[in-house]
Every structure is written in C-alpha cells, then in structure tokens.
Chains A and B, each alone.
Chain A
Amino acid sequence: MSSPITGSGNLGVEVVDPGAVSSATQHEHPDSSKGLEKTIVKSWKAPIGYAVFALIALLLFVILGRDGLSTFTLSGDNDLIQLPDVVVVARPTGLIVTVLLVVIAIVGFLLVRVNRRVPLWLTAVLGVLFLFGFLAWADAGASLPIQVAGLLVGSVSLSVPLIFGALGGVISERVGVVNVAIEGQLLAGAFMAAVVTSVTGLPVLGLITAAIAGALVSFVLAAFAIKYLVDQVIVGVVLNVLVIGLTNFLFSQVLSKNAEILNSPVRFDRINIPLLSEIPLIGPTLFRQTIIVYLMYIAVAVVFFALFHTKWGLRVRAVGEHPQAADTVGINVNGTRFWNVMLAGAITGLGGAYFTLGSVGAFNKEMTAGAGYIALAAVIFGQWDPIRATLAALLFGFATNLQSSLGIIGSPVPSEFMLMLPYVLTIFAVAGLVGRSRGPAASGKPYIKS
C-alpha cells in the first residue's frame, strides 16, 4: 500500500504486464483467453454438436430403426383428468425426428455462418426432439408403455438432493470458495436427519439438524480454506473422505446396533396441493411432493432472486469476482465468504435430509453415492447460475431415472451407458462443446488482505 513500492510496482506493470496478465488469466481460467479468440473466430462447436446428435439419430432411428408401436402413457389411474395414451409408429417417427434434427443442425450452421449466436432454445428443442425419438425407438414393440408421469416424478425425486447441492455449490463458488465438499455436506445432512428424527420423532427437527450438520461441514471447509489458506479442492476432497469415514464408522458402531431407536426416521408425508396437483403430468410431478421439495422450489427462487437482485447478492458476487475491489469499498471479504459458505452448507444439508426423510428412509453407508459430485457437475454445467444449475441437476436426475425406466421396458441400450450419460455430458460441457463455462473469477483463491 505504501507509495514507494507502488512506484516500483507500476514500473513492473509496464515491463511485465502484457505477458503476465494474459498468461495469468490463461492459467486461472484457461478458457477465458480462448474466449477472447472466440469473439473473433466463429464458434462451430454448437452446430457440430447438433450434427453429431443428428448423426446418432440417423444411425439409431433410421439405419438401426425398429418396427412396432410405441406407447406413451400420460395419466395415472387415480388422476382426476385422464389423458389418452399416445401411440406412435416407431419407424416413421424416428424418420421425422431425424429429419427435424438435421434441419436444426443446418439452421445452426447457417446461423454461425452469418455470425449469429445459436440460441439456447434451439438446443432445448433439439434435446426434447432427440429424447422423444429415442424413447419411441427404445419402446418400439415393447409390451409395456412408457410411463411419462412416472418418469418425470422419479426424475424430480432423484434431482432434489442434486438441486440443493447445486444451490449450495453456486452460492459457495459465487462467493469465491470452491465447494467440492457437497458430497460430505449431503451425507452429514442425511445422517443427522436420520438420527435426530428417529430419536425425537419429529422430521422437522431432523430437517433443521440436517442444515446445521451441512453448515458444520462447511465450517471446517471455510476455516481451512479461509483461515489456513489450504487449497479448497484438497480440503473438499478430504472432507468428503472424512464425512464418509465418520458416518460409516458411526453407522457400523452405533446406528446398526440400535437401529430401531437411532435409525428409523419418520418420513415426511406427501402433501397434495389442491387444484395444482390435478394438472395432468405437471401435477403429479411437481405438486404431490413432500415439504422438502416445496422448500426446494422456494430455495431456488429465493437464491436466484437474492443473488441477482439484492444487496447481499451483489456483495456475494463482488467478493467472488473481485475480492480486492469488494474490500476497497468496505466489504469484509473473508467474513462474507465465511458466512455464505456456511449458508451454502446449510442448504446442501437440507438436500441430504431428503435421502432419509423423503426418498429412502433409514440411513445407510455412503447412501449419497456420489450425488455431491454430480451436483458439482451441475454447478459447472449450469454455469454458476442457480436456475441453470437447477435445470442441469434435473437433467442429471432425468438421465439417471431414464436408465431405470428403460431397464423396466427392456432397453436396447445397456444401462451402464445411460448411467454414464450425465458424466459424459459434463465432460463435454466442461470442455466447452456446449458453451463456454466461466466461473467466478476469484473462486478457489484465498484472499489475503494487505
């Protein structure tokens, strides 16, 4: 801060600046310099991606096309409004879908040719079309119909912890702390929720404890990352191992010996929201859920609104993007980071509670099964935006659920490849095929105040 050093520092700027700064950004956000190139060079990534999908469609739906009828069931037996089943003939459907996909790919190429950006909705349309074609192809000639409602309900159920985890990840990374410990926070939340609910019989109390447990894991992360300046990724990975070890140990040593006292949580009941729950497809999917899921809707909306439309959000983003600037205007950088990482942990902990209070029931060893890492992927896939991260988490949940649904009707694709899909998608996303992903600038870097 003192002036003589500033002088020599400025001298240094003139000599070293161009190389140092550009290469520094290059390292810390390796794709940002590529992004600079991309403003000049056209990005053919999206249309190439479209073309790949069109080619896969051509190969699967037309060349390897299957004959027979595919049935999509839209309504359950006890729904108020009954929709008729949709029956399509597989081969022509596949052909039409393929043609449409080819058209979209060509539109994409043309758009890039005239230097226009490929809109996101085109990708969405492509995804839905491809999925429809794929389901029609997979179900062709199968005796069981595709339960669309069941598919969607299952997807939401699998997505809930992912979404909570992704929200926690978004807040944490937006404030500048890489949160690899999502897995640990989920697991800690699931464990504490199970124990507290079993002992007290009050799931609400379990839910609160789960948030506290997640926040505690975050506390360790924040303490090591902010106070001791340990690499945040290392702390995150080690914390995951620590929580897995702790919960496994306590499960084997304590929980399994007194399962009926300590590990038989009361689950939340489903609450049907009047009217809304009777909307075909949407009702059963979104409005016949437990309180945790409704809490999730609120959380997504609140986090989105707060992050982009409140003073708190502005501060969080400032600290994550440019801590020095934030410090200069009087924001307590490390304090902001500390409390928001705790908050992120609490939100993630709620997601953990869904395992034991919502979907599965009793706690089991490593019951999160890597959901935290998928949530992390959703954060990156969703480009550090709460809404997009939520959508990415839904996509991952859907892909996982699709695999089990296809398993029931007897899918021609091995289930392992369906399970692989979210991870492969993430690699593509990270490698920039889907779009440039650029995180908060100061994420992962400790701030040392001068």
Chain B
Amino acid sequence: MSVIAPKFRLGYFIKALLDNIFWAVVLLTLAGIPAIMILLFYIDLPIIDGQILTPFLAFTWMTHPEMSVPLVKAFMQTDFFRIAAFPGFGFGALLAAGVIFVERKMLAKLQLRVGPFYCGKVEGILQLMSDGIKLLTKEIIIPAKADKPIFWVAPLLFVGTAAAFVSLIPVAPKTVVADIDVGLLAVFAIIGFFPIITVLSSWSANSKYPFIGGIRALHQMISFEIPLILSLLGVVILTGTLNLSEIVESQATYWWIAFLPVGAIVFFIAMLAELERIPFDLPEAESEIVAGWLTEFSGMMYGLVQLGSYLKLYAFAGLFVVLFLGGWQGPMVWPPFPEEIVTEGITMGPVTAQIPGLPLFSQEMLNGTLWFILKTAAVIFFILLPRGVFPRIRIDLLLHVGWYRLIGLSFVNIFIALGLLYAGVLGPEGIL
C-alpha cells in the first residue's frame, strides 16, 4: 500500500475539478450556444412532410423508434461513425485497453506475481481506470532547452499515425474505414512514419538517454522494414491484388498461412521488432537506458504514447489476421435474427413496440467481426507471450537477424509462392 503524498488534499483536487467544470459551462453558454443560434439563423432548415425540421422536432423524432432506427442505421454508414466508433478509433482503443489489462494479468501469472489485484475487487478490473486518472493528474515536466513544440506534438503524432494504420484494417465485409485499392502499400507508407516520429521526439528532448533510444529505434525499425515488406510479397503474388478486403475474400477455402508458413513467421518476427516488444525492445530497454526514447515523457504524454503503441499492436495483429489467417472468414456460428421481432415487434412486459428496420447489423457482419476478434486476440496473445519468457537481444545480433536471416527467408518465401503459382497448385487454374 502506498501512502498518499502529504501535500495532497482531496479538497483541492475536487476544487480543481469543479473549477474546470465551471469554466467549461461558462465557455459553452457564452460561445457555444450563440454559435449554434447564429448557425441556425443562416441555415435553411429542410421541410419534411410539410413540417420544418427544427432542432426540437428532430430531437422528438430521435426518441421515436420508427424514426430513430433508420436514422441510426444511416448514421452507422457515415464516415464519422466509422472513424470515431466501429471499425475505427473507438474499437481500436477499446481493444488496446483490453490488451493492456490482459497483458498485466498474464505477465503476473507467468512470473508468479500477484499482480495488480486490488482495484475494483474483481480481478483488478478498475486498474486501467486508476492508471488513467493517475496519468491525468501527474505533472507534465518538459526538460529545459527541449524543443517544446515538437516535444508536445510528438505523442499526438504517434497516436494519430497509429490510428491511421488502424483505419486500413478490414474488420468484417464492407466494414473498413478506408477501402483503398493499394491498401498494403498504404500500410507500408504509414509504418514508415514511426521511426521519423521516434527520432524527432528523442532529438527534441535534449537529453542523452532518449537520444540513444531514438537511434536504436531508427536502426531497428529500418532493418526490419525490408523483411516485413518482402515477406508479404508472397501473398500479393498469389492473390494478385493489394486491396486488403480482396485479400481476405481470396482466403475463403484456405488460409495463406497453410501455403506460406515461412512468410508468416518472418512477418511475425518483423512485426515484433516494429512494435518494439521483447525480445526486440532495445529502444525502451529499461535496464540499460532508463526508458529509452520515452525517458523524458511524463504524465499524460507518456499515456498517449502508450495508447499509440497499443493501437499499433492491434493494427499489426489485425494485419497478420487479414493476410495470413483469413480475416473475417469462418463458419457461421452467430445465431440468425429471429423473424418474430420484425413481424410482431418486441414485447417487454405490457408494452409491445413495433420497430421497422430492426436488424442493425447483418448476421454476416456480426459473425465476421466475431471471428476477426477471436483471431486477433489469439495473435495478440502470441505477441504478448515472449515478454514473459525471453531476454533482450544485443543490437548487433538484432541487425544480423534482420539483414541476414530474415531477408533470406523472405526470398525463400517468394520462391515458394512462385513455385505454387507455376506448378498450378494455386492461381487461376489451381485448387482455389
């Protein structure tokens, strides 16, 4: 049990919270509401069924199920919902939070520690929230002579780039934020930004340990980017497309890991290195260089970098699932939507509500999402597992592994793919 710092006063903390709420309310009333008024004054409100759609009428409709369900369905097709909630940022952040929780529990189990067990009585379920509040209320210290704008912006850029990576991962049929024809090349382009952000933040901190960590991160990400890119060429040769959704659709009968296990293993190892996880966590080696390139980050800035790195972890695991494990493909296990609800409505006690257009999600989408999450969780488990088991490797060994072994193996993988194609096993006349 830690002792609460003697200078901490709960009253001051509550006062600070109330002050912030007060200023938020004042700003909203003085600036927000007049802005909405001015906007409504200049916008031509649409006329629906002979009525002018005033904000009041719109809010009334939203509580009416016959009106609200189609509205909700239409809203779920918009870019904003996709980016903010379902296949995008909210989904990724939720999975990232789950990964952090599971990682702490699992490492504690592996290393026979009790682990964070006390928050929230049930298996430490509130640990994440307490971590968040702790990070939020810590002082942000910026070292003297640091390059302040870059130092402030670096965590935000890291989170943003990781989120841009998440936007390319298809979760279920037609459920992807950005469906790009050259999705795989876009993935490589986004991965290429991470070393730049790392080096920028480490150089701007004006401190020696972040600098050493940044240089290490640069070397590591650079040497493992080429095996990463080459190991995926086999999949592209066999499918003939760079669109990630089409790559998933090509795996309806067989997953590519069955034909290209070498590429999958090379990609997995390169993925561990790009994620800076043990055994490749040289940039953050806490027993050698304090915390590597994260040394000078404190408070919420550190929290944002952690959020970004776990979003990146989810995106890489999702990419592995999409390319090698068949994405959303799997047997239909989701129960079908009962017909009575559409025809007879929902009966809750004395009230029966007839709600048209009810199945918000189709059965295929729910089933695909379920399989995608299950497979991603399995891949994330294998990414987390080495952390409890392996030591850290030396930097010259790391470069040797990257440049000699993995590149050779990824060329072997390319020739396996070419052989399968030209032997007629796969491809246009093959078994697929």
Real complex partners, A and B? no
